């Protein structure tokens, strides 16, 4: 990564097909009027992505309030269906450096999408790598069964336009407020982004959540589902970094299975 002049450049000469292109598509898709600003793409190629350079600043409560309000607007921009990729993209994407399946056709429900495109693909990889055993695999499969049965579906919740990898490292605080970087953008559940914000800690998180709720009131019991929405990022970490994340993931799976 380099910062030449007014641009921030990410380079990867061994990038898999579409690695930077889908990131740029995601940034453009998330840049909705009144939503959270993003790192604006300037130039993209198969081996690099250039964005407008951002000047960082310390997090403030006022910026957190504005972030929460704007994130609700971003989510409310919506998506055609759960799992849909960003506009101008018609295949799978990436989260971190591993693949992220997209639903190119509508799926029946959020639970079906989450079970089959956000949990099971990474379960298979974790099991193949030896990071989880057969008993642990069964526990996760019980969660998937409940998801497919609609246990955690809310018929009033329409697909949201989500960042998809909204941990604190992808939230940049600047003089003119928060900007988002490195998305795994898709049509998903708003609670997924909110759960991810707190997974590794975010400054002023409660202010962000309170301001969000003022713009788009969250469904009763949403805090009880935070662990469910964290299963996907935790499983991607198991695949990427090994078994140290398994205890946390399996504890959450026991709660929802």
pLDDT in tens, 119-133: 999 999 999 999 999
Distance CA 148, CA 143 (A): 9
| Average confidence (pLDDT) over 83-104 | 97
165 noted as active-site residue: yes
Distance CA 254, CA 257 (A): 5
For the cut 90, the answer to whether the pLDDT of residue 50 exceeds it is yes
| Average confidence (pLDDT) over 168-173 | 97
C-beta of residue 235 within 8 angstroms of C-beta of residue 123: yes
pLDDT bucket at 5, cuts 50 / 70 / 90: low
Domains of the chain: which residue ranges?
A: 55-254
Positive/negative CA dihedral, 122, 127, 133, 138: positive
Query: 114 versus 156: which is more confidently predicted?
Result: 114
Cα–chain center distance at 154: 19
| Average confidence (pLDDT) over 135-148 | 98
Distance CA 83, CA 182 (A): 18
- Residues with Cβ < 8 Å from 130, sequence gap 6 or more? none
Q: Write out pLDDT tens, residues 183-215.
A: 999 999 999 999 999 999 999 999 999 999 999
- Residues with Cβ < 8 Å from 181, sequence gap 6 or more? 27, 38, 39, 51, 170, 172
* pLDDT at residue 243, rounded to an integer: 86
- Indicate the angle between helix axes 226-241 and 246-256, nearest 10 degrees: 150
Torsion angle of alpha carbons 199, 97, 74, 180, nearest 10°? 80
Q: Which residue has the tokens 């250039």?
A: 50
What's the CATH number for 55-254? 3.90.1200.10
- Residue 95's DSSP bridge partners are 98
Q: Which of 165, 182, 213, 220 is catalytic?
A: 165
């Amino acid at each position: 990564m380099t910062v030449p002049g007014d641009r921030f450049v990410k380079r990867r000469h061994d990038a898999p097909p579409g690695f930077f292109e889908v990131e740029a598509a995601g940034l453009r898709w998330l840049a909705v009027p009144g939503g959270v600003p993003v790192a604006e793409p300037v130039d993209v190629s198969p081996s690099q992505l250039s964005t407008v350079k951002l000047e960082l600043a310390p997090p403030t409560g006022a910026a957190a309030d504005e972030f929460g309000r704007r994130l609700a607007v971003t989510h409310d921009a919506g998506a055609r269906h759960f799992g849909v990729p960003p506009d101008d993209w018609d295949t799978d994407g990436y989260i971190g450096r591993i693949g992220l399946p997209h639903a190119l056709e509508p799926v029946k429900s959020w639970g079906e999408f989450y079970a089959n495109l956000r949990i099971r693909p990474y379960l298979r990889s974790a099991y193949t790598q030896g990071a989880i055993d057969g008993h642990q695999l069964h526990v996760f499969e019980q969660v998937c069964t409940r998801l497919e049965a609609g246990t955690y579906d809310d018929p009033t919740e329409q697909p949201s336009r989500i960042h998809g990898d909204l941990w604190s490292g992808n939230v940049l605080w600047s003089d003119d407020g928060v900007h988002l970087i490195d998305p795994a953008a898709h049509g998903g559940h708003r609670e997924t982004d909110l759960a991810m914000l707190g997974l590794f800690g975010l400054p002023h998180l409660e202010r962000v959540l309170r301001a969000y709720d003022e713009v788009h009131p969250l469904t009763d019991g949403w805090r009880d589902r935070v662990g469910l929405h964290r299963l996907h990022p935790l499983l991607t970490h198991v695949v990427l970094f090994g078994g140290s994340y398994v205890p946390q993931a399996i504890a959450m799976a026991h709660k929802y299975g």
